[in-house]
Each structure stands twice: as C-alpha cells, then as structure tokens.
A and B are shown apart, each in its own frame.
Chain A
Amino acid sequence: MDDRLRETLSAMMDDEADELSVRRLLSHDSQDEVRAQWQRWQDVRDLMHDGHSPVHGMDVSVAVRELLDGRGSATARPDPAVQDSKAGRWHWPAAAMVAMALLVGFGAGAGWDSSGAGPVQPVTAAAPETPVQDQPIREIALQGLDEEQWEYMSRYLLEHAQHNSVGAGRGAVGYARLVSANGVGY
C-alpha cells in the first residue's frame, strides 16, 4: 500500500477523506491489506479512547445498503449483532460508515455479489394489498458495481431517460433525468 492510500485511510478515520480518494482506495488491488490496516487503526483508536471496536461482530452491511439507497434509517431492522453490542449506539458519519463496511463487511472484491446477499425489506411492505411476490427484492447498490457494470447499467438509464425526455411530455423534468443519468453516483 503506498503512502497516498495510507493517507486516504487515515483521512477516512477522521472522516475527512474526499470521495475520489475513497473510491481509489476501494478499487485498490489488495483489499485484504487495506482492510487489515483499517482494522489495526480502528483497534488502536478504540484502545486510545477506551471504546469497543465496532469492527468486530457488527454487521453494518444492511445499514450501509440503506445509506447507499438514501433511505436512512427508515427501514431499520432489528439486527441482533448490533443490538447485543454497544456498537449499536455508535453514531458514525455516513461516509466513514459506508467506506468501512465496504472494506470490512463486504469481503474480498467488494463486488455487488456480496453486497446484495441479505434480505432487504420489500418496498411495498406498507401496501399489504399487493397481491404479488412478497419475497424481498434483492437490492444492488450502484456503488458496488464495477466500472463495466456501471457503464452497462447507465446505458439503460440513459436510454430510458431519453425516452422520458421526449416521450412522457414532462419537458424539463425529462431532460433533467437525462443529465442526471449521465452523472449519477459520480
């Protein structure tokens, strides 16, 4: 791991890392190394602050998925792992939380595959009259996609937005979707 990455990691500890460097860090080849370093620093910090390391035994992937989806804690589910430990009361800055979970929680590769592993509350849960599939929908966080996958998906987004801008008669809204699709998430 070069100094720049280490610097980013350090900035992340203080929640001062910018998005670009975090992304660079996340796309770093040896994620194990990054993860190990992060965990070491966390442990050190926790020792210094006499706290409990949330890294151990805390499943943050659900919360992170929700963060990534911008749903906040609206669909917070009881998670025994979180409730049992003091870690549940930790208020982490969103950016650090996301970054940490990507590093620690999602496992090697940080790909979409493991990010969508857990059940996510069905969105239509509030509409019990829904006669259809009650099984949870697997959610894919855009941030979990690799570059090729993102490009693939954004092509569809754009084509749909194009149609929207021209077809649905919403004028500026359609255009806005189009432009937004061009830059979404990045």
Chain B
Amino acid sequence: MPQAFIDILRCGALSLLVGLLLTLAGSLPAAADEDEASAWLERLGPALNMTSYRGVFVYARGESVHSMQIAHRYNDGVVEERLVLQDGGSGEIVRKGMNVVCVLPETGRVQLDQVIPSGPFAEAFTSQLMPVNRWYRAEMKGEDRVAGYDVVSLALSAKDPYRYSHRLWLEKSTGLLVKSHVRNAEGEVLEQFQFTSLHIGEDIPDSEFEIRTKGREISRTLDEPTPAASVVQRMNGWQLGWRPEGFMPAAAPRSGKGQAVAFSDGLAAFSVFVEPAGPVTMPTGASKIGATTVYMHQVKEGGNAFLVTVVGELPPQTARQVAESVRIEDSLALGAGES
C-alpha cells in the first residue's frame, strides 16, 4: 500500500476521532443548555406583557377544548387586551391597564361577577423572577414552527414528584409564549395551549380593543398588588403545615367569607381555601380537569366543620398532602358559627 494512502487513512481516522470527541464534548455541557433555557425563561414574563400581538389560540384540558381570539397591545406602559370566546356562548374580556370588563355568556352556571379577575395583574408578579431552575430541570428541545413563527422549545421537567412538568414554545424574536404543555410523570399531556394563528406587531388598531358583544357587562378596577406580607392576615385562624418546596405565597384570589391563599413556584400555582362548611355537603377526594386538581376535605375543630379546598396545577397526591396539612387554629377567626 502506498505510504500516501496510509497517511490519508491515518489522517481520516484522526479527524474521525477528533470529530467524535467534539460531539461528545458538545453533549456534555448540559449546564450551557440550562443557561440558554434560563435566558429564554427570563424573557417569558416580560414578553407576555410587552409584546403586541393578535391571534387565535386553542386551550384544551380534560375533555374541554376552547378556542379564543386575543389582541394584546403594549402602549405607553399600559397593557390593553381583548379576548373573545370563539365557541360556546359568546363572551369577551376587555382589559385596559387595571380596568377589566367582562361580557360572558349567560348560559354558564356560574355567576358573572365570580369571573372577573379581582386580584392584581401580572406585571408586578412576573417581575419577581422565580428560581424555576431549582425545581425544574430546564433543557432546550430544539427549534420548531408554531402558527407560522419560528420558535424554540424548552422542556421544564419537574425534579420531584410534587409538580407537573412543562414544555414551552417561545417565539424566537420576542420570546412570546405561543404553545405550552403540562405533562404528568408518565409524559401524558394534561393541558395544552397553542396559537393557531398569530400576528406579532405593533400595528393593531384601537378598534380591536373595543367591546362588541352585547350582554351583561361587569367592570371592575383591579386592586393594587397585594404585598406578600398580608398572607399572614389571610391565613388568619389556620396554618398550612406543608407545601412542596419552592411554592411561595403569591398574589391571591379573594374568597367570599373564607380565607384563601395562593402559592406559586413560578410555573405552577395552587390556591388553598379554608371556609366553614356550608349547607352544601362536599365529597372528600380529588377531581381532575386536565392539569388542574381540586382536592376537598373536611376538618373538624372545636365542634365546627371546615371545608379545606386545594385547587391547582398539581398532581392529586400533592394536592391532598397540602390539604391534609391544614390546621385550624382559631375557628372564630374563620367565621365559624356565622351563617
């Protein structure tokens, strides 16, 4: 065999080896991958508010699928938003800054005034960045296309069994969330959200933000964000003995006569409601609607019965554990005995 040929062979083998090493090295630094994923996550919150876009998205959980049209504009620091239901009864939600107007179908069994968001809106919350990486393993999952836009996909896998895993698809140039999945430990998709048509850009006319549905309107001005300290006040009379690590007190819903506290780990959230048991007897156990679990059980304290309800994007086991850790300390503070 001519020496030159052997040289070529040797050279080829060498470059093959080098190539192999490079490939290996490329797959090793998962940390870099996580950094990239984190960088994308940091864009997620601001992008949701500060990007202007309009489109139609579908949302599915359990057996229900909804399609909604959305227009979102960020104008002089004010968020304007209009959501129109595309199926079922007609209805819409229009928001300008802290003013929200809801027109929802009368066919729903739930009273309209319960539907209005009564808590603080997202800005204040998303600005405080959660260390999502501590509870989820972030991983880049490559590139894709959603609703005509190039997207990056990232997986956030739960590091413990207390929460679900998430998969997010973010538009490349803005970081806007255009698709998401919530999955359980078996990889089953429990809840999904996805834009089917989307236009990102500032050129959305004012007319897109006007109420057009006729019906009972309910408007409300949102309260200023509640400082987390007031959680203590809202937990007056009861204590939460356990919650999964990483869930911090968050902006909370206002419950009627009871006490509600919400917690979030940055991705998932759950709310705990403690109320004197009402005239309606509720079963003990978990109900699931897609990724949302409702766990209810009764606690007796000092001759009074209380209904503890945990609602959240949590596995049923976690919801139960949270619910069962609630201890009633002062039944009077919870309004027991009042009707």
Tell me the A residues contacting B by CB distance below 8 Å: 69-70, 74, 112-113, 116, 122-124, 126-127, 129-130, 132-133, 137-142, 145, 147-160, 162-186
Contact = CB atoms under 8 A, between A and B. Distances in A.
Contact of B62 (A70, A145, A165, A186): A70
A176 B93 contact: no
Given A142-B287, A142-B289, A167-B250, A123 B271 contact: no
A129 B159 CA distance: 12
Nearest to A163: B253
Given A124-B185, A127-B161, A171 B177 contact: yes
Contact of B251 (A127, A163, A172): A163
Given A137-B317, A167-B251, A171-B177, A180 B119 contact: no
User: Which 9 pairs from chain A and chain B are nearest by CB?
Assistant: A176-B59, A138-B285, A169-B126, A160-B311, A127-B161, A171-B48, A159-B253, A167-B251, A163-B253
A124 B282 contact: no
Interface string B47-60: 01100000001010
B125 to A, nearest CB: 5
Contact of A123 (B45, B64, B283, B316): B316
A153 B161 contact: no
Contact of B48 (A122, A140, A170): A170
A158 B66 CA distance: 16
A180 B280 contact: no
Contacts of A176: 57, 59, 66, 68, 193
B317 A183 contact: no
Given A123-B316, A172-B57, A149 B177 contact: no
Contacts of A151: 109-110
Contacts of B62: 69-70, 184-185
Contacts of A154: 109-110
A177 B292 contact: yes
B118 A169 contact: no
B260 interface: yes
27 contacts: A137-B286, A137-B316, A140-B285, A142-B287, A149-B281, A151-B109, A152-B282, A156-B273, A156-B309, A158-B110, A159-B114, A159-B254, A159-B311, A160-B271, A160-B311, A162-B115, A163-B250, A166-B125, A169-B125, A171-B122, A172-B72, A172-B177, A173-B193, A175-B93, A176-B59, A180-B289, A184-B62
A101 to B, nearest CB: 17
A150 B252 CA distance: 22
Interface of B: 44-45, 48-49, 57, 59, 61-64, 66, 68, 70, 72, 83, 85, 88-89, 91, 93, 104-105, 108-110, 114-122, 125-126, 161, 177, 180, 184-186, 188, 193, 222, 250-256, 260, 262, 264, 266-271, 273, 278, 280-290, 292, 294, 296, 309, 311-313, 315-317, 320-321
B294 A123 contact: no
Contacts, number: 222
B252 A163 contact: yes
Given A133-B321, A175-B83, A167 B125 contact: yes
A155 B110 contact: yes
Contacts of A124: 161, 185, 315, 317
Contacts of A155: 110, 114, 256
A50 to B, nearest CB: 35
A144 to B, nearest CB: 8
Contacts of A166: 117, 119-122, 125, 222, 251
Given A138-B284, A163-B119, A167-B119, A175 B273 contact: no
A185 to B, nearest CB: 7
A149 B267 contact: no
A159 B316 contact: no
Contacts of A152: 278, 280, 282
A183 B59 CA distance: 13
B289 A183 contact: no
Contacts of B262: 160, 163, 167
Contacts of A130: 161, 317
Nearest to A171: B48
Contacts of B270: 160
A127 to B, nearest CB: 4
Nearest to A147: B109
A109 B119 CA distance: 39
For A70, A123, A141, A169, the residue with the greatest tally of chain B CB atoms inside 10 Å of its CB is: A169
Contacts of B64: 180, 183-185
A179 B68 contact: yes
